[in-house]
Amino acid sequence: MEAKRDKEYETECAKITPGLLKSRTGEFDLESILFLKLRSLGIYDLGCIGECINLERLDLSGNNITNLAPLASLRLLLVLNLSANRISNIEPLSSCESLQSLNMAGNLISSIDSLHALKSLRKLESIRLKDNTYNYTNPVCKNTSYRNTVLEMFPNIKVFDGERVVGRGSDLYQLCKDIDDTIKAGMYKNGQLPEVPDCKPWVEDGFWEIKRSNNAIVEEAYKQFNDVLHECRLLNRRAAHAISQTERTLGLKNPPKQYSV
């Protein structure tokens, strides 16, 4: 009996059904659902998701989705996370006219031409096709002109692959990125990266821990905060290495200062 229930649950999760949506949200009417998180459930069939016509935030990351056709009716959708699936065709998203943020990292998008379907989305401000934090990417990201071509295709984009490219903070971000690239280039000797020296933590363990929430907006903010924090820690370690390397190279390590009494 227990095995039968498990199989029924597995089958239900493989396809989005009214029963699954009601059990996950507590909403009886599918049109009442505004936020929906269905991460890593083995979903390959979006089923009745198109009936959630008032949906504003949707997280379907970590599934086995290939066909996005049922999403075409979600005209009020603002934030969509489809990372870590098996998607190659994003044409149905052209109907999601309110979409502002789209995460497609970790899929099978093979060419820049495939992205033309998104050009009609006038409100789109953030696109992610690559996520270095989780090692997610797409075949299109291997194109040497990938970044410049996409930014030319979407001149209104403010955030691309997690980097702010337009608006407040973009100049600072680019400056930090240039410094990071320079540091990285100077750190390599004979094609190898020197060992990482032990660094004293900035704060005590657990300082940055945030209480998790079932709220989709808080969850999205939590993820973005952790991504930025992870990148900051990496940059800090690289900077520490570069400073140490430069001091050894230039012989700038001075003995402790002596003070006369």
User: Do residues 18 and 111 share a domain?
Assistant: yes
Average pLDDT over residues 159-178: 67
Say yes or no to pLDDT of 44 above 60: yes
CA distance 74 to 57: 10
Among 141, 166, 191, the domain boundary falls at 166
The string of pLDDT tens digits covering residues 120-148 is: 999 999 999 999 889 999 999 999 899 99
152 with 242, same domain: the answer is no
Q: What is the pLDDT of residue 230?
A: 74
Kindly state the tokens that stand for 188: 């390599």
171-211 pLDDT, tens digit each = 555 556 666 666 666 655 555 555 555 556 655 666 555 55
- Look at residue 259 and tell me if it is in a domain: no
The verdict on 11 and 126 lying in the same domain is yes
Q: 131 is in which domain, residue-wise?
A: 1-166
Domain boundary among 146, 166, 186: 166
CATH number of the domain at 77, please: 3.80.10.10
Same domain, 111 and 35: yes
Higher pLDDT, 216 or 227: 227
Structural domain count, the chain:
2
Residue 105 belongs to a domain: yes
Answer with the residue of higher pLDDT: 96 or 3. 96
Q: How far is CA 230 from CA 161, 200, 214, 223, in A?
A: 15, 16, 23, 11
Residues 44, 3 within the same domain: yes
**How far is residue 145 CA from its own chain's centroid?**
21
Determine the 3-state secondary structure of 242 from DSSP: helix
Asked if residue 52 and residue 104 are part of one domain, the reply reads: yes
Q: How confident is the model at residue 254 (pLDDT cuts 50, 70, 90)?
A: low
When pLDDT is averaged across residues 235-257 and rounded to a whole number, the result is 70
Instruction: pLDDT band for 232, please (50, 70, 90 cuts).
Output: confident
State the average pLDDT for the chain. Answer: 80
> Strands 126-128 and 57-59: what pairing?
unpaired
- Residues 188 and 235 grouped into a single domain: yes
The DSSP call for residue 107 is S
> Residue 115 in contact with residue 109, Cβ under 8 Å?
yes
Q: Where residue 103 falls among pLDDT bands split at 50, 70, 90?
A: very high
Q: What is the mean pLDDT of residues 81-109?
A: 97
Residues 122 and 112 in one domain: yes
Asked if residue 137 and residue 106 are part of one domain, the reply reads: yes
In a domain, residue 258? The reply is no
Instruction: For residues 133 and 214, state if they share a domain.
Output: no
Plot region of 58 (φ>0 → left; ψ -120 to 50 → alpha; else → beta): beta
What pLDDT, on a 0 to 100 scale, did the predictor assign at position 212? 55
How many residues does this entry show for the chain? 261
Does the residue 257 lie in any domain? Answer: no
Q: Judge whether residue 250 has pLDDT over 60.
A: yes
Q: In this structure, are 88 and 194 located in the same domain?
A: no
Examine the domain organization and report whether 8 and 130 are in the same domain: yes
* Residue 180 covered by a domain: yes
pLDDT category at 10 given cuts 50, 70, 90 is very low
24-28, 45-49, 256-260: least confident range: 256-260
Asked if residue 261 is part of any domain, the answer here is no
**pLDDT for 79 beyond 60:** yes
Residues 82-110 have a mean pLDDT of 97
Q: Which residue has the higher pLDDT, 250 or 201?
A: 250
Both ends of the chain: CA-CA distance in Å? 86
